[in-house]
Amino acid sequence: MNKNIYLGIDIEKISRINKLIEENSLVMDRLYTKNESTLTKSQIASNFAVKEAAIKALSSFTILKFSEIEILRMKNGKPSLKIFNKKIPKNVAFE
């Protein structure tokens, strides 16, 4: 059993992400899934931070693109990851 703990942390300014999207219309297509394209500006920034943290935490296993991760919200508001990449070991847990 792998006893290593991999952690990714990221904080984003909502205004920075909004500016990035406004300046480049392709950003949404490159960083987000179709389901995420309908989110509010604050949710988009939040998802960016979650995706970047996940990419950092999983970098020991695989290289992920932002578009390979979809952030889902559980009923209690906590993020859950849907990853469209088969290279991650099944024993990796996310909390």
Q: At residue 6, does pLDDT exceed 80?
A: no
Mean pLDDT over 73-82 rounds to 84
Mean pLDDT, the chain, whole residue set: 81
Q: At residue 3, does pLDDT exceed 60?
A: no
Mean pLDDT over 44-56 rounds to 88
Query: Terminus-to-terminus CA distance in the chain, angstroms?
Result: 18
Mean pLDDT over 10-37 rounds to 87
Read out DSSP for the chain? -------------HHHHHHHHHH-TTHHHHHS-TGGGGS-HHHHHHHHHHHHHHHHHHTTT----GGGEEEEE-TTS-EEEEE--TTS-TT----
- Cβ atoms of residues 11 and 46 within 8 Å: no
The structure tokens listed for 58 are 């999983």
Mean pLDDT over 69-86 rounds to 83
More confident residue, 73 or 60: 73
